[in-house]
């Protein structure tokens, strides 16, 4: 099969012919990929940013946002069958450790992460995962239309889900960054909260899309965005600020946009957060990290997606054009999400 593999960091991946994956255990599932999302994390992987944390053996196949059709199942698989349309939770989990028992499967002690850890991902024609990662979809669903919800989607939804209890009528949510994750966050906020939604981005086209997706107000990030957000919130800032950028100073802007007793959710990465401790004490403000969501988060998100309440804005590329997709993403030429289709 054809697959996109990283051979060395700080260098473009290559499209190689490699053997198809095989069943290795009773709960294994082989997926025929119908769509693989191209994520900014893939750019970080290629840059070597995850090398120390995950230590994968090179070369390996990237791609952690995957959907497709069940191609083969292990002897113990009962929840899906050959031919089913599925989206895959990006990190298969064991179901037995305390983290899994508590519903925190992203902290599973025995988890692996295809496309990120030492396991081949889905920028390929086939992928090996496990039964615990599979969520069955309506058979009419096109996997390429939903694949990026497997990571970008649940990352955004997970943060909104955690914050939703405090986003009642009369509150304000600020979304900084209306790109691949942010545009899903906007729709999730509109679907499950009653908050007023303010979106900040440096790209006017992204702000126009945000308006279509449910933003009540938009702010151009032109250097005066903090003041603009405060002007829209009676000088206070947002009750919750979702920072989908979190680099090049945006993480500090988000802090300044957060109201007293409010919370800043950090979803992007690459920057460095620093604030005076008096701001925490005097303002009673919170900073909350956010990793990819749980299996339950993805299941809930797919209910919203199949009801038409959350949609992905995508640009599709054939698998052979994977480098074009990665370069376009790096250059900011992708509105929404790039999807590889084998």
**pLDDT digits over 9-32, tens only?**
999 999 999 999 999 999 999 999
Confidence at residue 179, expressed as pLDDT on a 0 to 100 scale: 87
Instruction: Check pLDDT > 90 for residue 51.
Output: no
Instruction: Say which range, 91-95, 171-175, 258-262, has the weakest mean pLDDT.
Output: 91-95
Confidence of residue 59 (pLDDT cuts 50, 70, 90): very high
Q: Of residues 262 and 105, which shows the higher confidence score?
A: 262
Residues 267-276: what's their mean pLDDT?
90
CATH number of the domain at 154-289, please?
A: 3.40.50.720
Nearest to 239 by CA among 179, 303, 171: 171
CA distance 148 to 302: 11
Q: Where are the beta strands (DSSP E) in 106-167?
A: 126-130, 134-136
218 bridge partner residues? 199
Residue-level length of the chain: 342
CA distance 75 to 155: 32
Instruction: Say which range, 7-21, 37-51, 252-266, has the weakest mean pLDDT.
Output: 37-51
Instruction: Check pLDDT > 90 for residue 147.
Output: yes
Three state DSSP letters for 231-292? HHCCCCCEEEEEECCCCCCHHHHHHHHEEEEEEEEECCCCCCCCCCHHHHHHHCCEEEECCC
288 bridge partner residues? 265
Confidence at residue 52, expressed as pLDDT on a 0 to 100 scale: 82
Confidence of residue 108 (pLDDT cuts 50, 70, 90): very high
Domain with CATH 3.40.50.720 in the chain: 154-289
Confidence at residue 291, expressed as pLDDT on a 0 to 100 scale: 86
Mean pLDDT of the chain: 94
Domain with CATH 3.90.180.10 in the chain: 2-151+292-340
Q: Where are the beta strands (DSSP E) in the chain?
A: 2-6, 14-17, 28-38, 60-61, 66-73, 85-88, 126-130, 134-136, 172-176, 196-201, 217-220, 238-243, 258-266, 286-289, 314-318, 337-341
pLDDT digits (tens, 9 = 90+) for 203-228: 999 999 999 999 999 999 999 999 99
Confidence of residue 335 (pLDDT cuts 50, 70, 90): confident
What's the distance, CA 160 to chain centroid? 12
Residues 244-251: what's their mean pLDDT?
93
CATH T-level topology, domain 2-151+292-340: Quinone Oxidoreductase; Chain A, domain 1 (3.90.180)
Residues 273-296: what's their mean pLDDT?
91
């Amino acid at each position: 099969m054809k697959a996109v593999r990283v051979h060395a960091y700080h260098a473009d991946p290559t499209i190689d012919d490699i053997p198809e994956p095989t069943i290795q255990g009773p709960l294994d599932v082989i997926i025929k990929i119908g769509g693989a999302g191209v994520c900014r994390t893939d750019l970080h992987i290629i840059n070597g940013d995850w090398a120390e944390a995950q230590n994968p053996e090179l070369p390996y196949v990237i791609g952690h946002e995957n959907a497709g059709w069940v191609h083969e199942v292990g002897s113990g698989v009962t929840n899906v069958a050959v031919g089913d349309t599925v989206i895959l939770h990006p990190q298969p989990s064991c179901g037995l450790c305390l983290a899994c028992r508590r519903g925190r499967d992203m902290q599973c002690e025995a988890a692996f992460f295809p496309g990120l850890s030492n396991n081949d991902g889905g920028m390929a024609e086939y992928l090996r995962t496990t039964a615990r990662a599979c969520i069955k979809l309506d058979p009419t669903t096109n996997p390429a239309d939903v694949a990026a919800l497997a990571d970008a989607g649940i990352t955004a939804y997970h943060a909104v889900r955690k914050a939703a209890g405090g986003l009642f009528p009369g509150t304000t949510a600020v979304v900084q960054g209306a790109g691949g994750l942010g545009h899903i966050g906007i729709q999730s906020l509109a679907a499950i909260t009653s908050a007023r939604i303010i979106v900040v981005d440096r790209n006017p086209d992204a702000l126009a899309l945000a308006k279509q997706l449910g933003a009540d107000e938009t702010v151009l990030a032109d250097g005066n965005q903090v003041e603009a957000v405060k002007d829209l919130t009676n000088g206070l800032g947002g009750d919750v600020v979702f920072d989908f950028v979190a680099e090049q100073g945006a993480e500090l802007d988000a802090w300044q946009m957060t109201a007293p007793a409010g919370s800043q959710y950090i979803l992007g990465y690459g920057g460095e957060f620093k604030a005076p401790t008096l701001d925490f004490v005097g303002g009673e403000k919170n900073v909350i990290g956010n990793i990819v969501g749980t299996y339950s988060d993805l299941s809930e998100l797919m209910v919203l997606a199949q009801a038409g309440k959350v949609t992905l804005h995508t640009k599709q590329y054939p698998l052979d054009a994977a480098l074009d997709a990665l370069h376009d993403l790096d250059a900011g030429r992708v509105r929404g999400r790039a999807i590889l289709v084998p």
